[in-house]
Amino acid sequence: MNEVILEVNNLGIDFCIEDRVIPAVDGVGFSLLKGETLGIVGESGCGKSVTALSIMRLLQMPPARISKGEILFKGENLLRKSDEEMRRIRGRDISMIFQEPMTSLNPVFTIGQQISEIFMQHQDLPKKEALSRSAEMLRMVRIPMPEKALKQYPHQLSGGMRQRVMIAMALACQPELVIADEPTTALDVTVEAQILDLIHELKDRINTAVIFISHDLGIVAEVADRVAVMYSGRIVEYGAVCTVFNEPKHPYTKGLLDAIPDIGMSRNKRLREIRGVVPYPDEIKNGCRFKTRCDYVRNKCISKEPPLLQLGTGLVRCWNCL
């Protein structure tokens, strides 16, 4: 029987800015099995990274606040953990690969100092043994001459090498859950392919569950088992990645897939796009959040927001599908 490692139930996150309360995430819920990869996709600002940071308890409060819901990791609600308890969980049980390693790595400490600190903090290893384990991790993520890399500073490594260091740090204590927040952004396609292969290989080796956040549907189709499509702070479609991408139900999911360039398309053919722009979260008063951009909008869509209900083997939030 597959073990559920993470459950996010009815999560709500607001940002309180001056006299405004802006709902960034509203009623998001999903589960993750041990060894499974869940992809979260959507446009910038839809709530993907905010959801990930809330799992890590890394949201800055204030201005952020978690207004409702629960985050259950192995049955325990992370939102009820103390700061000290979360410090023990981060890096040991749950790790995160951030989007930009140059801003995530400390520029004044060597690579060896930053990786070995994880072993010293979470496994109480002496410095010499921690450095030895750090070299093993760099070797595992295929960084050449790891002993030399340990003595280097982040600026002395390429973008791809820095991202490998971030992966080594995330997997150092063999966590049960890794959150990868657009880990291949700004990397060239060759390095991107290498990083994706590396994440997949290491995940299989230690049976880690992965939340993979991206706006690139092609990458998610390659790495994920299930996918959650987010729009304006809500999940609008959720299911097995092969089902969602081959038979999309929500108009937003269809629009995202239709906007992917076809390698065989004519140079003169215009790319398809989703008309309009994402509304500001505090502008949404009632009705479907996608109503201003949808080609299938009806009167009911304008007045009442659809629930997220079962359709086949997945979930969808659309009146035209229910």
Q: Domain containing 281: what range?
A: 4-88+179-186+209-316
Distance CA 322, CA 314 (A): 12
Distance CA 123, CA 119 (A): 5
Looking at per-residue confidence, does 240 or 189 come out higher?
240
Distance CA 32, CA 237 (A): 16
Q: Is residue 154 part of a domain?
A: no
Whether the predicted pLDDT of 14 surpasses 80: yes
- What was the pLDDT predicted at 148? 92
Q: Is residue 41 part of a domain?
A: yes
Q: Is residue 230 part of a domain?
A: yes
Q: What percent of the chain clears pLDDT 90, i.e. is strictly above it?
A: 31
According to DSSP, the residues that pair with 73 across neighbouring strands are 6, 76
- What was the pLDDT predicted at 222? 85
**CATH label of the domain that carries residue 261:** 3.40.50.300
- What was the pLDDT predicted at 265? 67
Distance CA 153, CA 156 (A): 6
| Contact residues for 172 (Cβ-Cβ < 8 A; gap 6+) | 91, 95, 115, 118, 119, 133, 134, 137
Tokens standing for residue 116: 């070995």
Cβ pair 101, 166 in contact under 8 A: yes
Helices (H) and strands (E) in the chain, counts: 12, 12
Whether the predicted pLDDT of 101 surpasses 70: no
pLDDT-derived band at 1, boundaries 50, 70, 90: very low
Q: Is residue 143 part of a domain?
A: no
Q: Is residue 264 part of a domain?
A: yes
Mean pLDDT of the chain: 86
Q: Is residue 63 part of a domain?
A: yes
Distance CA 129, CA 135 (A): 10
pLDDT-derived band at 140, boundaries 50, 70, 90: confident
Mean pLDDT of 157-174: 84
3-state secondary structure of 153: coil
pLDDT-derived band at 204, boundaries 50, 70, 90: confident
Mean pLDDT of 214-219: 85
Ordered alpha helix ranges (H), the chain: 48-56, 83-89, 101-104, 111-122, 127-140, 146-150, 159-171, 189-206, 217-223, 241-246, 251-258, 299-303
The whole-model pTM stands at 0.88
Q: Is residue 98 part of a domain?
A: no
- What was the pLDDT predicted at 10? 92
> How many folded domains does the chain comprise?
1
Q: Is residue 128 part of a domain?
A: no
pLDDT-derived band at 143, boundaries 50, 70, 90: confident
Tokens standing for residue 260: 């992917």
Give the pLDDT confidence of 105-138 residue by residue, as tens digits.
888 999 999 999 989 888 888 888 989 989 988 8
194 residue type, one letter: Q
- Phi then psi dihedrals of residue 141, to 5 deg: -95, 15
Indicate the burial class of 12 (C-beta count within 10 angstroms; 0-12, 13-18, 19 or more).
Answer: middle
Lowest mean pLDDT among 13-27, 183-197, 249-263, 280-294: 183-197
Whether the predicted pLDDT of 104 surpasses 50: yes
Distance CA 180, CA 198 (A): 13
